[in-house]
A and B are shown apart, each in its own frame.
Chain A
Amino acid sequence: MRLMRVADSQSVAMESKSSVLKRWGNRRFRFGTVSIPIWVPYAFIIPFFVIFIIFMLYPIIDTFVLSFENWSSMGSKWVGLQNYKLIITDPGFWTSLLNDAFVLLVQVPVMLFIATVLAVALNNKSIRFKWLFRLLVFFPVLVDAVTYTIAFQIIFNTNFGVLNYLIHFLGIGNINWTGNPWAARMAIFIVVTWRWTGYNAIILLSGLQSVPDELYESAVVDGAGKVTSFFRITIPMLRPILLFCAILSTVGTLQLFTEPYILTAGGPGTATETPMLYLYGIGFQNYNFGLASAGTYILTTIIGILSYLQIRASKGGDYRA
């Protein structure tokens, strides 16, 4: 208000504007039996939106603009769709997408399956120390990606790692986890699964707790075994939450960066190159910001489409719907 008064005394043109503002500021909206000034909601959101626009919305739009330019610090040149063409025709980009597709098609379902079994086990009525199991299974969530990846570096070590040591007992020779393409993919697979299974299990557990016991009881009456009720009751009932987890995992997988960056640096060759590693190389090693922006938008579009398809695919057969 004080600011407005200062503006009043400064110019006549401002005065008419500020009196409009003042009249608007004096308007109130009813709220039950009392009313509050109409500007109050905006006062709550404006500080947020100022930062949000500068550091979130502007960058999102600017990336889009950059994707049509040949960026250089001296000045950028409009190049139309050339960046998109370059990315789409680069086999390196497709390789990185295919590597991610492997994680998406194999790791995500395996992880969600283990997480569901884990959630069912944690939900079992006759298990004691449940809170302790829950807490411990949840531990990987709090470790940051760099720390656990470095720990896994040693665990995966060809000659001295504990994993090869254990595998030895199965009668399998040493596996070169970072030197062999499929072993390296497996290594990334294991690290990601380790990090996110407990997290997903906790989310699924919350869903399980809302499944009525009677459903299982009537299944037992109908002669269904544990395995049958798992596939016929548990999984369908968890469907909306499994979907939520699947979307989160999809988005996360397409943004995989820290684990392969540290563990394999995308190698051997390009066996564990992910789209983010690929785009990071273009953007921050070659400083080709235009090209990297185009790639980012292609990736964001893919994430959007996959999320949409997952939502579509899960509709129908949904107990809640």
Chain B
Amino acid sequence: MRSSVPMKFLIYAFLIVAVIVSIYPIYWVYVASSLSDSQIFHYPPSNWFGSNFLDNLRSLESSMPVWRDLANSVFVSGITTVSVVLFSSMVGFAFAKYEFWGKRFLFFVVLITIMIPMQTTLIPLFLIITKLHWQNSYQALIVPFLVNGFGVFFMRQQMQAFPEELLEAARMDGSGEFKTFFRVVVPNILPSMAALGILTFLQQWSNFIWPLVVINDRTRFTIPLMLQQLDQPGNVIHYGPIFAGAAIGLIPLMVVFVCLQRYFISGIYSGSVKG
């Protein structure tokens, strides 16, 4: 169905407005990271880059271990992502391709936990971490997020379409089940794993309430926590340095996104449509 010219014009106008609105706050982060505080609080609002980025960055470095915190975010999100993808694939495979006692029940339990908000587990997790004396440690940031229900559900959906014949052929060749999984299944579902990987990475990166609860040592901060700590009412807030930090913190996300965006969008499709 083709559209008339005025209709087309309307659609373009709408899309362009949508794009400007979507991009502007991110653009603003980068603009503000290059402005001094007095330029940020200026009327009319400045919308073009200044020359203060390095000064802002230096000022940020003097108040927060910004590179360390950036590395923390990358490290924590990276480890949890690898773990979620690996475990989810294994369990998803077992749920999709094997029959075993207790399968239905276990899958039901996993499904239920998807509907339960993360906050339901917050207090007991905090008590566990306290008991283990893990406050301010990487374990506290990583271990509770090594697995989750959504990943299993997602990978099971993906695995169900995996052709039985390929598995059969590998078994006939005398390949063990684990070998089959890693040599035959994994290479064929890499796109799904990438999709789950990027969803998990973004989700872990933006986890805020948990670091807020278990971390108060600034060398263990993640980027979101670092930004929020600089932005607390009651202190003198310097927005230039905060935006410099935000601008740096967005870079890994954009790199991951640009590299894997193809899988990201397909992952959101399949995570939703088949659900």
Determine if A203 and B268 form an interchain contact, defined as CB atoms under 8 angstroms apart. Answer: yes
Cβ of B125 and Cβ of A48 under 8 Å apart? no
Stretch of A14-22, A94-102, A131-139, A181-189 on the interface side: A131-139
Query: Which residues of the other chain, B, contact A88 by a CB distance below 8 angstroms?
Result: none
Q: Does B22 contact A (CB under 8 A)?
A: yes
Judging by beta carbons under 8 Å apart, are A60 and B116 in contact? yes
- Residue B187 at the chain A interface, CB threshold 8 Å: no
Residues of B within 8 A of A254 (CB): 117
Given contacts A143-B26, A241-B273, contact A45 B253 (CB under 8 A): no
Interface 9-mer from A4-12, A77-85, A104-112, A158-166: A158-166
CB distance from A314 to the nearest CB of B (A): 14
Question: When the two chains form their complex, are residues B1 and A303 in contact, meaning their CB atoms are under 8 A apart?
Answer: no
What's the least CB distance linking B139 to chain A, in Å? 11
- Say whether A33 faces chain B, with CB atoms less than 8 Å apart: yes
- Which of B48-56, B57-65, B189-197, B204-212 lines the interface with chain A? B204-212
In the assembled complex, the CB of A123 is this many whole angstroms from the nearest CB of chain B, namely: 10
Interface residues of B, CB < 8 Å — how many?
Answer: 101
- Residues on the B chain within 8 Å of A151, using CB: 25-26, 28-29, 32, 243, 246
Tell me, yes or no, whether A318 is within 8 Å of chain B by CB: no
The answer to whether B123 touches A289 (Cβ under 8 A) is: yes
In the complex, the answer to whether A203 meets B206 with C-beta atoms within 8 Å is no
Docked complex: A127-184 residues within 8 A CB-CB of B = 127, 133-148, 150-155, 157, 159-162, 165
Q: B87 contacts A48, CB within 8 Å?
A: yes
| A44 with B123, Cβ < 8 A, contacts A33-B168, A144-B206, A154-B32 known | no
A244 x B272 contact (CB < 8 A)? yes
CB distance from B191 to the nearest CB of A (A): 15
- At the interface, yes or no: B163 with Cβ under 8 Å from chain A? no
- B residues less than 8 Å from A159 (CB atoms): 41, 43
**Known contacts A144-B224, A241-B272, A244-B272; A160/B43 CB under 8 A:** yes
**Which secondary structure dominates chain B's binding surface?**
helix
Are B15 and A133 interface neighbours, CB within 8 A? yes
Give the residue name and chain of the A residue nearest to B228 (CB): A146
Q: Is A222 an interface residue (CB 8 A)?
A: no
| One of B3, B124, B239 near A62 (C-beta < 8 A) | B124
Cβ of A87 < 8 Å from any Cβ of B?
A: no
Q: Which of A44, A55, A245, A279 contacts B144 (CB 8 A)?
A: A55
Cβ-defined contact, A145 with B23, below 8 A: no
Bound-state Cα–Cα, A127 to B8, Å:
7
Residues of A within 8 A of B243 (CB): 150-151
Q: List 16 A-B contacts (CB under 8 A).
A: A33-B168, A34-B168, A45-B90, A54-B128, A56-B148, A59-B123, A66-B124, A121-B18, A125-B1, A127-B12, A133-B18, A138-B265, A147-B249, A150-B231, A220-B1, A284-B126
Interface of B toward A, CB cutoff 8 Å: 1-3, 7-8, 11-12, 14-15, 18-19, 21-26, 28-29, 32, 40-45, 47, 87-88, 90-91, 93-95, 98-100, 103, 106, 109-110, 113, 115-128, 143-149, 152, 164, 168, 171-172, 177-178, 181, 202, 205-206, 208-209, 213, 223-225, 227-228, 231, 233, 239, 242-243, 246, 249-250, 253-254, 256-257, 261, 265, 268-269, 272-273, 275
Taking beta carbons and an 8 Å cutoff, which residues of A are in contact with B? 29, 31-34, 36, 38, 40-45, 47-49, 51-52, 54-60, 62-63, 66, 117-118, 121-122, 124-127, 133-148, 150-155, 157, 159-162, 165, 194, 198-199, 202-203, 206-207, 213, 216-217, 220, 226, 241, 244-245, 251, 254-255, 257-258, 262, 265, 276, 279-280, 283-284, 289, 292-293, 296-297, 299-300, 303-304, 307
